[in-house]
Amino acid sequence: MFKRLLPHMRVNTVYDIDLSELHARGIRGIITDLDNTLVGAKEALATPELVQWLDVVRDFGLKVVIVSNNNQTRVSKFAAPLNIPFIHAARKPANKSFRKALGVLELPAEHTVVIGDQMLTDVLGGNRMGLYTILVLPIAPSDEGVMTRVNRTIERIALSRLRKQGLWYEGEKK
């Protein structure tokens, strides 16, 4: 059961993702979480560094859609200036939001990656849909809401079990 929580790749930030490697693997789309993945949960807008990274993503010909459990006001305020489509109130890890994102991207699962900071929402949801999953460290864990803190507690339990099974090693990046 806990194996569904294992990402295909682990990195510190989105900036550590080798976009040329993803492109070479046939990846053409990115489904990304917003809060604590792209920016801190309390940051309203993209940082200059993120804007630059998104430009590089587009230069690789990769399409992007934001899938967030947050509300429409939060997600649209962030996504609209960047001209990125989004799905708000996604109820991740439910399959419906990931299916909808694939439709927005007009891509099949095998050509799409999910990037997020939570194993119980982003990684589990992506893995259940057959997507390549990348787990990033949360940008500002102190800014997280109640449900995310509950998820983090469950993640710690899952990580303990995965370590005992020899499936999770600290310091492992890929």
Spatial strand order of the sheet with 63-67 comes to 9-11, 132-136, 112-116, 29-32, 63-67, 86-87
Place of tokens 């430009």: 55
Question: What is the CATH classification number for the domain harbouring 25?
Answer: 3.40.50.1000
Asked if the structure places residue 169 within a domain, the reply is no
Q: Tell me the pTM.
A: 0.88
CA dist., res. 91 & res. 57, Å (int): 26
Q: b vs e for 9-42, b when ≥16 Cβ sit within 10 Å of the residue's Cβ?
A: bbbeebeebebeebeeeebbbbbbbbbbbbbbbe
* Each residue's pLDDT tens digit, 65-93: 999 999 999 999 999 999 999 999 999 99
Lowest pLDDT segment from 46-50, 135-139, 149-153, 168-172:
168-172
Asked if the structure places residue 95 within a domain, the reply is yes
Lowest pLDDT segment from 24-28, 132-136, 167-171:
167-171
Contact present, 108 and 127 (Cβ < 8 Å): no
* Each residue's pLDDT tens digit, 114-167: 999 999 999 999 999 999 999 999 998 767 677 777 877 777 777 787 777 877
Structural domain boundaries, residue 142: 2-164
Asked if the structure places residue 45 within a domain, the reply is yes
The domain total for the chain is: 1
So what's the pLDDT on residue 171?
Answer: 59
